Amino acid sequence: MLSRIKNFFFSDRVFTFLVIFRWASLLPALFTLNMENEQGQFLSPLWTLGIAALVNLFISLFNRPLNKLVVDYPAALGLDLVFSAGILFISGGARSPYFLYALSPLLAGSFFFQMRGALVSAAFFTPLYLAANQFDLSDGVSALTQLAGVWLIPILFAYPSSLLKTINQARDELSAARDELTRQNESLSAAHRQLKVIHDLTVLLQAAPDLISVQQRVLGAVTTGLGFRRAVVALVDPAREEIGSWLLYPVNSSFPSIEALSLNSENGEIFKSLIERKPYRTGVEGEVLVNHPDLNSWLKTCRWLVYPLSLREYAVGILMVELDKHEELTRQREDVVTLVANQAALALGTTILCIDRARRLAVETERNRIARDIHDTVAQSLFGIAYSLDACVNMLPEHAEDVKKELTDLRTLASGAHDEVRRSIFDLWPSSLTMDIFQADLVNYVNSCCRPRAFSIIFNHSGDFNALPSGLRRAVYRMAQEALANSARHSGASSARLCLNVHDNRVDMSISDEGRGFDPTVALSRSVNREHFGLHGIQERARALGGECEIISAPGKGTRVMIEIPINGHPHA
């Protein structure tokens, strides 16, 4: 269709040229104009010129319709050939000043239809020319010369016309090829930019230290890299089967903060999308995106494209990108967002599963430790008590004094077993942990560890400890418990200092003493050394929460355990 339009405009320009030629060909007749009829003229020269001028005026006024008529119906050109022969006939035949005028339709045939048009027009016009000359070739040189011109001039013009048409077609093809290459270049450039975003995201995700960093880098890739205005990520806690840790980028103070919601379809279309693993476009009237009034109202102010994030059979979370009011994503852009979502699911899922695995391992390790402690202390003490009581029964009544002494020893042994049971109880998580309970339980626990020797704890704290998530408070308690127990048992010091600072986005804790100290590198490398098992546990717990634990000590220089944990490092730390 485009080629036909271009060919039409090309023929339109040619037709304009022919109209100009037609007017210019009247100049010889105008210069030879006189009022007396010459031999062979059937009309006065003025009338003949007037008729030719009127036809030229008609053609000039209606050049576009006539152009289309000639292109669609080439036979219409025959009417102009007959009219031109008629002008020659009434103006003197071979002696007519209108010979160039008569060539106008021949040139039109050459320009419009190239060589074929030139030959057909010349063949059709030859008998008309002879008839216009009344088949009188007495003026042989002039008649034959004009007849040769009838053939040679159209053929001469047909060749450059063919070249022009070929050049025009080649130009059109080159223009089309250029447009296609431009389109492909733009497409490749867009694909390159998008692949670069995915590559950069992959590199950044590999270096991300915690879940919050992974979330932020995914959101940055979707917004800054792919050009979306806003994006939201929420994560699944596989242990509790809940969705939480809602994070918006760019940050907006109007975005509500909510607790985690259970992962079931009744909690809204977003949850249903994750369970069914199908992308979802918001915008349906009356839909409930999240079964939380504040968050649902906030989300419904925009249009969102929701991508479920999953890793194998595990649900990982949700990625939501904001769409403009009337935006429709191209297939290519949607595919790129899907690739980013898949990459995000891989990174987030791997991190979540590793944290969950570390948490399960920590629980299992703690269980095993408690079992070992009970077996090594309480069970052995109870076995000794039972054995001694049995011996006392056999000694009664003949050896009453010996039985009395044995029972006194059994009371001491039973008291020790009682202390061991209390120690195991203190090792378990407190049911409700406030700052007051945190301090009191640590004092009781440490006193049970170093009995009968006195050991005191100096507390310094700042920030709102009670506002921390319950899981994070318990984790801080456990790490403080391990560090203080090590200090009480092995440092030789009479006291330790615990400093706890709660900031907006992290918790800092340090436990220090001025005891005998040790070489951390050597001590921590002894994986079978029960003496420093607690230090390994502290480091593992801190890393599982996305934090860090640094142990600074040297022989004779005391010990300092420094812990830093992000508050939002894990949805349920």
Name which residue leads in pLDDT, 210 or 450: 210
Question: What is the arrangement of strands in the sheet containing 261-262, beginning at the earlier edge strand?
Answer: 261-262, 242-249, 231-237, 314-323, 303-311, 280-281
253 has pLDDT over 90:
no
Domains of the chain: 2-177 (no CATH), 207-355 (3.30.450.40), 359-566 (3.30.565.10)
Q: How far is CA 86 from CA 23, 58, 154, 355, 429, in A?
A: 17, 17, 19, 101, 118
For residue 368, is pLDDT > 70? no
Residue 487 has pLDDT above 80, yes or no: yes
Q: Of the ranges 33-37, 121-125, 456-460, 499-503, which one carries the lowest mean pLDDT score?
A: 33-37
Q: What is the dihedral of CA 481, 483, 487, 490, to 10 degrees?
A: 100
Higher pLDDT, 509 or 113: 509
In this structure, which amino acid lies at residue 534? G
In 3D space, the residue among 401, 470, 479, 396 whose CA is nearest the CA of residue 433 turns out to be 470
pLDDT tens digits, one per residue of 318-348: 899 988 877 677 777 787 778 778 877 777 7
Q: Is the pLDDT of residue 479 over 60?
A: yes
Q: Please give the pLDDT value at position 353.
A: 67
pLDDT value, residue 190 = 65
Residues 148-170 have a mean pLDDT of 82
**Res 376: pLDDT:** 47
Each residue's pLDDT tens digit, 277-309: 888 888 887 888 898 888 888 988 888 989 898
Question: How far is it, in rounded angstroms, from Cα 37 to Cα 21?
Answer: 26
Predicted pLDDT at 399: 67
Instruction: Determine the pLDDT at residue 572.
Output: 35
By residue count, the chain amounts to: 573
For the chain, give the mean pLDDT: 78
Band (pLDDT 50/70/90 cuts) for residue 532 is very low
For residue 389, what pLDDT is reported? 66
Does the pLDDT of residue 258 top 60, yes or no?
yes
DSSP letters for 518-560: --HHHHHH-TT-GGGHHHHHHHHHHHHTT-EEEEEE-TTS-EE
Question: Which position has the higher pLDDT, 149 or 559?
Answer: 559
Mean pLDDT of 21-33: 83
Whether the predicted pLDDT of 571 surpasses 50? no
Q: Is residue 435 over pLDDT 80? A: yes
Most confident option among 191-200, 253-262, 356-365, 388-397: 253-262
- Whether 421 shows a pLDDT value over 90: the answer reads no
Residues 6+ apart with CB under 8 A from 215: 233, 235, 245, 247, 348
Share of the chain above pLDDT 70, in %: 75
Mean pLDDT, residues 338-361: 73
Least confident of 159-168, 194-203, 211-220, 501-510: 194-203
Residue with structure tokens 């390159």?
192
Phi, psi of 548 (to 5 degrees): -135, 150
Which long-range CB contacts under 8 A does 11-14 form with residues at least 24 apart?
11/67, 11/70, 11/71, 11/111, 11/112, 12/63, 12/64, 12/67, 14/111, 14/112, 14/161
At 530 the pLDDT is: 45
- Across residues 188-196, what is the average pLDDT? 68
Q: Which residue has the higher pLDDT, 161 or 427?
A: 161
Query: Euclidean distance between the first and final Cα of the chain, in Å?
Result: 66
Q: How many CB atoms lie within 10 A of CB 328?
A: 8
Tens digits of residue pLDDT in 397-406: 666 677 667 6
User: Is the pLDDT reported for residue 39 higher than 80?
Assistant: no
The pLDDT score that the predictor gives to residue 5 is 41
pLDDT value at 369 more than 80: no
Amino acid at 16: T
232 pLDDT higher than 80: yes
509 vs 257, residue with greater confidence: 509
- Where is average pLDDT lowest: 22-36, 188-202, 508-522, 555-569? 188-202
Residue 9 — pLDDT band, cuts 50, 70, 90?
very low
> What confidence tier does 18 reach under pLDDT thresholds 50, 70, 90?
confident
Distance CA 132, CA 126 (A): 10
336: its two tokens: 């790129």
